[in-house]
Amino acid sequence: MHPELYPTEHWAEGTTVTPRRIYNWNTWATRVFFRDSMQALWPDKAEDIAKLIDPGEYGVESNLCRLLCCFVFVMMIVPEIGLCWEMANLLWHVPSEDEPWVTIREGRPMKGPRHEWLDMISVSGM
């Protein structure tokens, strides 16, 4: 591994990441399983076990895999960006003034069957 490619930072487990502590998925999952199994066997010593058993961190070293993961992520959020744009557009066009939303049309009698009575009112925007 190349240490200059992996700056020291904090990752998912909340630990400091160094090149020596990055493992592939199988190794990392086995180490986490072992740590969790030991904590399940001796729950009273869970803090000591967590300090002594370090599973490391999982990291993808292939730049092609990283690029593919970023591409899949972006493709999954593109529809969400469109929905956010539609919501912003809706909020921009909704009136903010206090105005009536139902009005009665003048010049029509208030008599007759119900469907005719509904013709006498107007809903704003419709």
Segment 32-65, tens digit of pLDDT: 999 999 999 999 999 999 888 888 887 777 789 8
CB 17 within 8 A of CB 10: yes
What gap in Å lies between CA 81 and CA 62, rounded to an integer? 28
| Selected residue with higher pLDDT from 71 and 14 | 71
Is 97 part of any domain? no
Is the pTM higher than 0.75? The answer reads no
What gap in Å lies between CA 84 and CA 90, rounded to an integer? 10
Is 29 part of any domain? yes
Is 38 part of any domain? yes
Query: What's residue 87's pLDDT?
Result: 95
CA distances from 83 to 71, 72, 106 (A): 19, 18, 40
Q: How many domains does the chain have?
A: 1
Domain residues for the domain of 36 are 1-61
Is 4 part of any domain? yes
